[in-house]
Amino acid sequence: MQIEAKNISFRYRENTPWILKDVSLKIEEGERVGLIGPSGYGKSTLVKILAGYLKPAKGEVLLDGKPLPKKGVCPVQLIYQHPEKAINPRWRMKKVLEESGMFRDEVMEALGIERDWLDRYPRELSGGELQRFCVARSLFEGTHFLFADEMSTMLDVITQAQIWNLMLKEVEERRLGLLMVTHNSSLAERICTRTINLAEINSREE
If one asks whether residue 37 binds ligand ATP (CB under 6 A), the answer comes out as: yes
CA–CA distances in Å: residue 93 to residues 33, 76, 102, 124, 189:
30, 21, 12, 10, 34
Q: Rank residues 45 and 143 by Cβ distance to ligand ATP and give the closer one.
A: 45
Q: Which stretch binds ligand ATP (CB under 6 A): 34-42, 100-108, 132-140, 160-168?
A: 34-42
If one asks whether residue 44 binds ligand ATP (CB under 6 A), the answer comes out as: yes
Contact present, 25 and 179 (Cβ < 8 Å): no
Q: Which stretch binds ligand ATP (CB under 6 A): 35-43, 58-66, 116-124, 132-140?
A: 35-43
Instruction: Name every residue whose Cβ is closer than 8 Å to that of residue 25 and which is 6 or more positions away in sequence.
Output: 4, 5, 196, 201
With CB under 6 A as the contact rule, the residue among 40, 65, 72, 89 that binds ligand ATP is 40
Contact present, 145 and 177 (Cβ < 8 Å): yes
Phi, psi of 140 (to 5 degrees): -65, 165
Residue 189 carries which DSSP code?
Answer: H
If one asks whether residue 89 binds ligand ATP (CB under 6 A), the answer comes out as: no
With CB under 6 A as the contact rule, the residue among 34, 42, 59, 122 that binds ligand ATP is 42
* Residues at the site binding ligand ATP, with contacts judged by CB under 6 A: 12, 19, 37, 39-45
